[in-house]
Amino acid sequence: MPWKNGGGTTTEIALQELPGAPGRFLWRVSIADVAEAGPFSAFTGYERLIAVVEGAGMRLTVDGVPATVTNRAAPFRFSGDAVVDCALLDGPIRDFNLIFDRERADARLDILPADKAADIPAGGMALVHALDGEVILRTGDSVARVSPGWTARLDGTAATLETGPGACAVLARVAARG
């Protein structure tokens, strides 16, 4: 799908619409390929979490304040209302985005490197996107394997996420308020 500002495209992984609010969503998860410097689209009323998953990284200027986001480092959070410009550090990147309605939800985004585990509590929504290697999701007695480039969604289910040797995953979690 094209960016709101027309400067590129994004691949939407999942979206939760807001009932009775055409054009609004509770949250959206996507991956974007960024080939050149330029402005970010505005998402008024939303918060954004972004992580670079391929390429060296990017230097953002968010309402005049610089921030650097590098490959598979801690995700960066900023207001969708902000004026954001992007400069690439060393060529094209791919980023993972979680955008959520700040009044109706809380969210977090984590990069889980090789040989790590994370407990996913029951409640809310969780997306596990495998970047490298095989990622394992354990829910009760069930085991699911998520291959690179694929995403698994959990709605309200507790699970354990495991990354093996050479594996890396992105974990996006959203909990609606109220």
pLDDT tens-digit profile, the chain (178 residues): 766 666 667 899 999 998 888 889 999 999 999 999 999 999 999 999 999 999 999 999 999 999 999 999 999 999 999 999 999 999 999 999 999 999 999 999 999 999 999 999 999 999 999 999 989 999 989 999 999 999 999 999 999 999 999 999 999 999 998 7
| CA dist., res. 51 & res. 162, Å (int) | 19
Alpha-helical segments (H) within 57-144: none
Element of type H or E holding 1:
none
CATH of 107-176, one of 1.10.3720.10, 3.30.450.20, 2.60.120.10, 3.90.550.10: 2.60.120.10
Same fold, 10-103 and 107-176: yes
Contact 166, 130 (CB under 8 A): no
- Say how many C-beta atoms besides its own lie within 10 A of residue 118's C-beta: 16
Q: Which tokens go with 78?
A: 């900023």
- Looking at domain 10-103, does it have CATH number 2.60.120.10? yes
**What does the domain layout of the chain look like in residue ranges?**
10-103, 107-176
